[in-house]
């Protein structure tokens, strides 16, 4: 058997991040007194990975490592967004972590390892590679949720997350084993060929598909696999909640696309029916449950469940009665939605971090009372984000919802579009409640808002980007479309 040396060039970014993770680990061990070193190295890692990804970007689909790794524009675009979101999350979080004595090298090492896991997930062309990336990301997140060792709430949230995550990983592995039994391969291209030429055991494959969809649903946090989301969001330190709510959603979307569209597209009618069930339940339960929440982290958790339901709407609207004419538009609308959601979540949880200080967690909606009197500028930023998440024109959230609903209507699911609109109107209540307490209630806390200047500037840019991208959404929509077109065709 001849060993073929793989082409390392397409995986240069992943190799760089893995090497830098070792550097951060050594720096943490031998330079523990230099508290800023791990943070700076983690930001340098993300910046360097972004430069390498851009430099190695060819626009062509390239396979390496015996076909287990794929480099394409879809993966490169999502990886750049992952670097961007993790870098912003770390910058928002540094003051919060330092105030609570959690600003340790291990935290930044776990963040870099989590990023590496997401990169592997995004570029996976084989189910085992996908699983390795998923576990690398998940194990880092489990540890980060429990990072505040003195908090019983964080420990409880980490245990829930770990146990349910292990269950979801088991379901995913079982589904992969059934796919292997039905097709004789775990490579996405080979699985697709086996389905196309009808050489696979279809009955076994459909059973495997059910388990795969369950694993995807858990990572997206949609009903009925949502049980971990509100508890983990509330129990984890807010800095970790910010990470969980943003970049992993991009990786989970990539996982869904790689498995369902790139690998199991010939079973599209079957998995679309499953996604429809998940999407409807998520949009209904997410919006209704969020109304009852007084804790803003739990509210945003249920809000995220409903938003991921909208992402699933885009994925399920691609093919109707065998007609694949609308597939590209539907999948690009889903991609645009998940990118928009990440941008909005960064700003929303960034505001929660901004209002938190030593000995005080700004976790309740009442903590935002009278924010306009304390800081009119940041009250305006939070209002923009809440309006955008509610889907009010003309912010990016409105156009994200509109793009998905247009795909759903084009696919002929009028009733589904009407249901989504009705639930969005109902869901607007809990977003507008936050705006109401900021502008019309008297402040409970009159303490001045202290934050480093870089956090204030970046949070302002983040909030304004939600408004600017709402006025000019075509550029981001175009990038999502180009990335998908270059990888699917």
pLDDT, tens digit (0-9, with 9 covering 90-100), for 35-81: 788 899 999 999 999 999 999 988 788 888 888 999 899 999 999 99
Instruction: Give pLDDT tens digits for 1-35.
Output: 466 777 788 899 999 999 999 999 998 888 777 77
pTM flag (> 0.85):
yes
Instruction: Give pLDDT tens digits for 220-278.
Output: 989 888 889 999 999 999 999 999 999 999 999 999 999 999 888 888 888 999 999 99
Give the end-to-end CA distance of the chain in Å, rounded to a whole number.
34
Provide DSSP, 296-347: HHHHHHHHHHHHHHHHHHHHHTS-BTTB-TTHHHHHHHHHHHHHHHHHHHHH
Tokens 């599209």 found at: 268
**Omega cis (within 30) before 4:** no
What is the arithmetic mean of pLDDT over 338-365?
88
Among 182, 193, 178, smallest CA distance to 263 is for: 193
What is the arithmetic mean of pLDDT over 348-358?
87
On average, the pLDDT of the chain sits at 90
What is the arithmetic mean of pLDDT over 359-373?
84
Q: What are phi and psi of 318, to 5 degrees?
A: -75, -35
Instruction: Give pLDDT tens digits for 417-460.
Output: 999 999 999 999 999 999 999 998 888 777 778 778 888 999 99
User: Does residue 149 surpass a pLDDT of 70?
Assistant: yes
Q: Where are the domains of the chain?
A: 9-488
What is the arithmetic mean of pLDDT over 149-171?
90
H/E stretch holding 70 reads strand 69-71
What is the arithmetic mean of pLDDT over 125-135?
93
Hey, how many other C-beta atoms are within 10 angstroms of the C-beta on 331? Answer: 26
């Amino acid at each position: 058997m001849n060993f073929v040396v793989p082409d390392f060039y397409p995986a240069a970014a992943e190799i760089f991040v893995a090497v830098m993770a070792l550097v951060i680990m050594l720096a943490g061990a031998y330079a523990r007194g230099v508290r800023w070193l791990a943070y700076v190295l983690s930001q340098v890692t993300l910046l360097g990975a972004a430069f390498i990804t851009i430099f190695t970007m060819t626009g062509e689909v390239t396979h390496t490592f015996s076909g287990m790794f794929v480099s394409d524009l879809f993966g490169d675009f999502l990886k750049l967004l992952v670097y961007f979101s993790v870098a912003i999350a770390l910058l928002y979080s540094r003051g919060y972590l330092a105030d609570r004595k959690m600003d340790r090298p291990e935290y930044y090492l776990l963040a870099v390892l989590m990023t590496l896991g997401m990169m592997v997930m995004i570029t996976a062309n084989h189910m085992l590679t996908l699983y390795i990336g998923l576990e690398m990301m998940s194990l880092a997140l489990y540890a980060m949720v429990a990072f505040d060792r003195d908090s019983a709430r964080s420990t409880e949230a980490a245990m829930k997350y770990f146990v349910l995550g292990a269950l979801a990983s088991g379901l995913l592995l079982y589904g992969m084993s059934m796919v292997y039994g039905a097709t004789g391969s775990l490579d996405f291209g080979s699985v697709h060929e086996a389905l196309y030429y009808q050489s696979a055991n279809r009955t076994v494959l459909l059973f495997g598909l059910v388990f795969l969809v369950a694993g995807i649903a858990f990572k997206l946090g949609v009903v009925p696999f949502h049980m971990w989301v509100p508890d983990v969001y509330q129990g984890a330190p807010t800095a970790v909640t910010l990470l969980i709510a943003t970049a992993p959603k991009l990786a989970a979307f990539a996982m869904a696309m790689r498995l369902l569209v790139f690998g199991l597209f010939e079973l599209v009618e079957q998995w679309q029916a499953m996604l429809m069930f998940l999407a409807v339940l998520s949009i209904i339960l997410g919006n209704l449950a969020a109304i009852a929440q007084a804790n803003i982290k739990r509210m945003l958790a249920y809000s995220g469940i409903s938003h991921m339901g909208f992402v699933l709407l885009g994925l399920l609207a691609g093919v109707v009665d065998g007609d694949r004419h609308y597939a590209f538009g539907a999948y690009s609308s889903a991609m645009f939605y998940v990118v928009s959601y990440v941008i909005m979540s960064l700003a929303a949880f960034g505001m929660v971090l901004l209002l938190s200080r030593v000995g005080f967690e700004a976790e309740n909606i009442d903590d935002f009372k009278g924010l306009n009197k304390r800081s009119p500028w940041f009250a305006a930023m939070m209002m923009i984000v809440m309006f955008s998440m509610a889907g009010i024109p003309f912010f990016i959230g409105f156009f994200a919802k509109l793009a998905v609903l247009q795909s759903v209507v084009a696919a002929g699911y009028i009733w589904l579009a009407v249901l989504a609109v009705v639930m969005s109107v109902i869901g607007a209540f809990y977003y507008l409640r936050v705006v109401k307490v900021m502008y019309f209630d008297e402040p409970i806390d009159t303490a001045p808002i202290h934050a480093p200047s870089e956090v204030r500037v970046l949070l302002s840019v983040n909030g304004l980007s939600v408004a600017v991208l709402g006025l000019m959404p075509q550029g981001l929509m175009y990038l999502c479309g180009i990335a998908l077109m270059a990888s699917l065709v």
